Amino acid sequence: MLKRLMIATAALGLALGVGAAQAQEKFKVGFVNVGPKTDGGWTQGHWTGVEMLQKELGDQIEVTFLENVPEGPDAERAIEGLVQAGNKLIFTTSFGFMEPTLKVAAKYPDVMFEHATGFKTAPNVTTYNARFYQGRYIIGQIAAKMSETGTAGYIVSFPIPEVVMGINSFMLGAQSINPDFKLKIVWINSWMDPAKEGEAAKALFDQGVDIITQHTDSTEPLKIAQERGKLGFGQAHDMYDAAPKAQLTAIVDNWGPYYIARTKAAMDGTWESQASWDGLAEGTVQMSPYTNMPDDVAAAAKDIEAKIASGEFHPFTGPIYKQDGTEVAADGVVMDDGALLTMDYYVKGIDGTPGTN
């Protein structure tokens, strides 16, 4: 239904544009995504944000949402295609689009670009990301309280800083409740592969964990958790409907407010390049309702959520040690963003090194 609307909108927009003459010019916004809007995870999170954007700015804008654009040389063409079609503000939502975005941005200095999860900016390229680690800390605490075995399972994709940061934050949260908490980590080398994620979940449960969390995109691990009578956390998206008995909460990507703010700024000329990293405070990260847990655990979770959102507490507050005991943050000191964005080591208490190589 929405797709028909989009097709109609795009066709209409094209007809208007081609028809030249009178133009109540709609501001064109483009999105380049690596997956489909129905993936139930990352890309869908962005689509939900786009829906909010369309609701808010309605007829003032025209959105093109490209799906399944592979990272690599083809991405450059897709991005440039959007520019050629008249889009003035373009969001590229995957790390692998970094170089293509920068290349196209260099060619078109009047077009504004926003690259998610990257680290290179330019006068017309902003990077944006969400402080998911804040959510990880909260669920880490919940996990430590709800787990009977004191061990959680973590299903992850690739050992990039974002993922490692998430693991560390989760562990720090868990350790704040149970200093001896243990973590079993499985890398499946893919952002989304339901069958593999399911197998990884089964392997973890078979080995005795009773709570799982993931940094991969499908609902399969939670479904397995429910089948086994265990608990877990949703990722990027409220997965409660897929596993109502198993989901404790989910870290939800809420890009809507950010997209609305940036589009408005682009439209009224106040847009500027920045490296933005919003979190609970700005509403970019949200926690879905706390379910399947005793009231006091839920209350404590809401409490720490509020503290993080207000800035009263930061998950990466020292003392924090690397595995070998090196101190990376002294007592009471908060690690700065730069240190977080380049994190490639585990904190003390986690065995092994990130990745499978």
Partner 1 sequence: MRIELIRRPERSKAMAWLSPVIAVALTLIAGAIIFAVSGIDPLRGLYVYFFEPLTLPFTLSELVVKAIPIIIVAVGLALCYLSNNWNIGAEGQLTVGAIVGSLLPILAPDFQNVLTLPLMLLMGILGGALYASIPALLKTRFGTNEILTSLMLVYVATYLLDWLVRGPLRDPQGFGFPGSRAFTDFQVMPTLIAGTRVHLGVILALVVVAGAWFVLRRTITGFSITTLGQAPRAGAFGGFSRTKMTLLVFLISGGLAGLAGISEVAGPVGKLDVVISPGYGFTAIIVAFLGRLNPAAIVVAGLVLALSYIGGERAQIVLGMSSQTGRVFQGLLLFFVLACDTFILYRVRWVKAVHATAVARPAE
Partner 2 sequence: MSMAEAIIITIIVASTPLLLAALGELVAERAGVLNLGVEGMMIMGAVAGFIATYESGQPIVGIVAAVFAGMLTASLFAFVTLVLVANQVASGLALTLLGIGFSALIGESYANKPGIKLSRIHIPGLTDIPFVGPIVFGQDPLVYVTILLVIGVSWFLFRTRGGLILRAVGDNHVSAHALGYGVVRVRFLAVLFGGACAGLAGAYLSLVSTSQWLDNMTAGRGWIALALVVFATWLPWRLAIGALLFGAVGILQFHAQALGIRVPAQFLSALPYLITIVVLVLISGNRLLMRSNTPAMLGQSFVPDR
Binding stretches for partner 1 (CB under 8 A): 3-4, 6-7, 10-11, 14, 64, 66-74, 76-78, 80-82, 84-85, 95-96, 99, 107, 119, 158-161, 164, 189, 341-342, 344, 354-355, 357
Q: How far apart are the first and last CA of the chain?
A: 45
Residue type, position 311, single letter: G
| Least distance in angstroms from the C-beta of 40 to partner 2 | 4
C-alpha 183: how far from its chain's center? 22
In angstroms, the CA 183 to CA 209 distance is 9
Residue 149 binds which entry of partner 2, partner 1, none, with Cβ cut-offs from 5 to 8 Å by kind?
none
Dig out the tokens for 26 from the structure: 């709609």
Which of 33, 34, 39, 234 touches partner 2 (CB under 8 A)?
A: 39
In angstroms, the CA 18 to CA 144 distance is 60
- Does residue 319 have a cis peptide bond before it, meaning omega lies within 30 degrees of 0? yes
| Least distance in angstroms from the C-beta of 96 to partner 2 | 17
Q: Contact between 206 and partner 2 (CB under 8 A)?
A: yes
How many residues in the shown chain lie near partner 2 by CB under 8 A? Answer: 39
Q: Contact between 38 and partner 2 (CB under 8 A)?
A: yes
C-alpha 205: how far from its chain's center? 25
In angstroms, the CA 144 to CA 150 distance is 6
| Least distance in angstroms from the C-beta of 173 to partner 1 | 22
Site string for partner 2, 67-106 (x = CB under 8 A): -x--------------------------------------
Q: Which residues contact 73 (CB under 8 A, 6 or more apart)?
A: 100
CB nearer to partner 1: pick between 71 and 227: 71
Residue type, position 27, single letter: F
CB nearer to partner 1: pick between 265 and 341: 341
Contact predicate 239/222, CB 8 Å: yes
CB nearer to partner 1: pick between 77 and 322: 77
Residue 161 binds which entry of partner 2, partner 1, none, with Cβ cut-offs from 5 to 8 Å by kind?
partner 1
CB nearer to partner 2: pick between 42 and 258: 42
Residue type, position 150, single letter: G
